[in-house]
Chains A and B, each alone.
Chain A
Amino acid sequence: MSNNQEHAHEGHPAISRRNLLILGGVAIVAGALPVTFLALEPDNSHFANDLMSLLAEPDAAARLGTEWRKVATIAREPAVIASSIGKRLNPHGWHNQGTPEELREALKAAIVRDYANNDMVSISGWQIARTSAELCALAASLSGDSTGDEAAPAAHAEHG
């Protein structure tokens, strides 16, 4: 597990599922109530929120993120993960002031690029674009998932 996990995050207001839906404007399938999201670092919280708002079912993404964490060493801080996703989008024209639709398009394009570049990770065998996987990891972190906190493997254990 990377050093990033040593930093704890506290004190920021929780993001409700309802807020996420409002942000994203995406039709949602009825599901269980969402987990309570923990705090974000101020700088990237906006972007992380924007990313989360695109998800039809943040809990679903969080479960995938948790699953990925079982086999891979991934940053734990939402800000770090969000920034990693941002780095995948920015060189291809994404700017942080875009609309949700533009963000979705940028994300989609990044996912296509990941697959084209063979940048996939394996989540229980599912071959997922790294950008999607990081989105899941972000959801997991925001949901307070602690998988992988203990006995973190020294090496990068991912099977992607």
Chain B
Amino acid sequence: MFIDGRQVPDGTIIDTDIAIIGAGAAGITIARELTGKDIRVTLIESGGLQFEPESQSLYEGESVGVPYALDSSRLRYFGGSTNHWGGWCRPMQPIDFEQRDWVPHSGWPITYDDLAPYYERANDIAQVGPVRYNDTDWWSDDGKNKILPLPGGEVTTRWFEYSPPTRFGQFYRKAIEKAPNVQTYLHSNVLEIVPTANAAMVDHLRIGTLSGVRFEVRPKLVILATGGIENARVLLMSNSVAKAGLGNDNDVVGRYFMEHPHVDKPVEILLTNPEIVAPYYKTYTKLNGAQIRAVFMFTDEYLRAQRRLGTVMTFYESKDVRADDTYDERGISENRSLEPDILQMIRSTNATPAEDGALGKRYGTGCATEQAPNPISRIMLSHSKDALGLQRTKMDWRLTTDDRTNLRKNLEALSRAFGQWGGGAVKILFKDKDRWDEAEGWGNHHMGTTRMSADPRKGVVDANCKVHGMDNLYVAGSSVFTTSATVNPTLTLLALAHRLADHVAEKFTRGA
């Protein structure tokens, strides 16, 4: 059932078993998983069923680090940011969960194997194809598609699969609305998670609407699922009892904010033989029950040996390069003028003379890269207030020289791979400088602000996503990521949401 919070009588108190705050990818997934169980679920959503500027403006805030758009990088209505996500899906790699001694603050308290079965369910709910993310044979289409044979063992081809992209708010709306045990409150903002006097348990949730209604939800268990930035903000704002905010005894809430810095054209690639580039490298390709795209990633062996963090690289056709290209005459920028020469060089040493002047093709690239967890990259509360009277978000996103160097070194590894193969060459365009002073781009991926760690001094939630020091407060979403990996976060947060749903359902079955 959907209830408009603006119609709820002021001062109402609602008792429930589980309150889920936020109806985005994580919240809807958990509500769906709990549907039909003997558990009363209350789903509390800030927005309505459509975009409304008034609700959206609650997401505005200050950015004081690497410039970041707090507002347009997420959506505040039923379905959350899946109302405009791109659907890129790929699980993290096992190495991403490990403690890597060269990555400070790395190491999840769970492993890839703990999450593997839930990735399958995540694939289902996001309507992605078969779980074949690393399966070269599966995507070979009976031998028609071949991966580029890049030698050296540093770079490898892997695949993303696409969600249609599922708009969770539209696709699962009916199921949530009809779920007999789920009540959804729309236009209802959690203003504060109010704990008991000793701050060891959630007592109730203070809810408010933009029209001025105030009511309470009294749950036995709470799952905070308001997105990777807002999860931290809500915990920090919940400070009427614990002055530093909930789960923040060790000053970790909001810290370690991570994104995936995105760089457009970090390199360009020239290939002498474009014929051998399988379609799945160049664009979204429908194949064997899925929509896929091949990417270049870096092998575990390379990452370990060179002590690097990962990068994902996409690759697309740009332009034919011909021997008779006369760049200066056609006014094409001077930096293109060496392209025929580079291809001639490769062809000379390879003994593959050009025919009809066609020397090869230029390819553009894009990349997303892993940033190391960094405690000073963080979400805080601003002094300015939103329309509900709550402190807005203040974001201080930090990227370091090491993060830049890491990407640069990975681009050099890519250059080595193409060079050793002998069929191409790589031009590094990513600037060799210290600072990320202008945001080169990002992925709208908000991670790390309520990070998972077995040690309460180093993380906000434990391996079950329960807030350290609190009996009945859990967090869902990419804010729990300990490290960011390089792949888009939603499939992993959906896997974690399934795991959390099972965990809390079991608690209630056993008697909460």
Of residues 185 to 217 in B, which have CB atoms within 8 Å of A's CB atoms?
Answer: none
Question: B342: which A residues are within 8 A, CB to CB?
Answer: 64, 126, 128
A26 and B416 within 8 A (CB): no
Of residues 401 to 432 in B, which have CB atoms within 8 Å of A's CB atoms?
Answer: 412, 415-417, 419-420, 422, 425-429, 432
Q: A29-B323, A61-B344, A64-B338 are in contact. Are A115 and B353 (CB under 8 A)?
A: no
Q: A111-B422, A126-B427 are in contact. Are A118 and B412 (CB under 8 A)?
A: yes
B354 is an interface residue with CB less than 8 A from chain A = yes
A106, B483: Cα distance in complex, Å: 45
A116 and B420 within 8 A (CB): yes
B57 is an interface residue with CB less than 8 A from chain A = no
A29 and B348 within 8 A (CB): no
Question: B152: which A residues are within 8 A, CB to CB?
Answer: 115-116
B348 and A127 within 8 A (CB): no
**Binary contact readout A40-74 vs B (1 if CB under 8 angstroms, 0 otherwise):** 00000000000000111100110110010000000
A56 and B428 within 8 A (CB): no
Q: Give the contacting residue for A132; candidates B323, B349, B432; CB below 8 A.
A: B349
A127 and B345 within 8 A (CB): no
Find the A residue at minimum CB distance from B411: A127
Task: Categorize the interface residue count of chain B.
Answer: 20 to 34
Question: B419: which A residues are within 8 A, CB to CB?
Answer: 111-112, 114-115, 120, 127-129
Q: A64-B345, A124-B427 are in contact. Are A31 and B338 (CB under 8 A)?
A: no
B412 and A56 within 8 A (CB): no
Nearest-neighbour CB distance to chain A for B153, whole angstroms, equals 10
Q: Give the contacting residue for B349; candidates A63, A67, A111, A124; CB below 8 A.
A: A111
A122 and B341 within 8 A (CB): no
Find the B residue at minimum CB distance from A131: B349
A125, B151: Cα distance in complex, Å: 22
A120 and B415 within 8 A (CB): yes
B341 and A108 within 8 A (CB): no
A29, B345: Cα distance in complex, Å: 12
**Binary contact readout A90-115 vs B (1 if CB under 8 angstroms, 0 otherwise):** 00000000000100100110011011
Question: A39: which B residues are within 8 A, CB to CB?
Answer: none
A151 is an interface residue with CB less than 8 A from chain B = no
A79 is an interface residue with CB less than 8 A from chain B = no
Q: A108-B350, A118-B416 are in contact. Are A125 and B341 (CB under 8 A)?
A: no
Question: A136: which B residues are within 8 A, CB to CB?
Answer: 345
Interface residues, chain A, with chain B CB atoms under 8 Å away: 26-31, 54-57, 60-61, 63-64, 67, 101, 104, 107-108, 111-112, 114-116, 118, 120, 122-129, 132, 135-136, 159
Interface CB pairs A-B, < 8 A, 15: A29-B353, A55-B348, A56-B347, A60-B344, A61-B341, A61-B344, A61-B345, A64-B341, A64-B342, A112-B420, A120-B412, A120-B419, A127-B426, A135-B345, A159-B432
Q: Nearest 3 CB-CB pairs, A to B?
A: A127-B415, A27-B353, A115-B419
Interface residues, chain B, with chain A CB atoms under 8 Å away: 151-152, 323-324, 335, 338, 340-342, 344-345, 347-351, 353-354, 357, 359, 412, 415-417, 419-420, 422, 425-429, 432
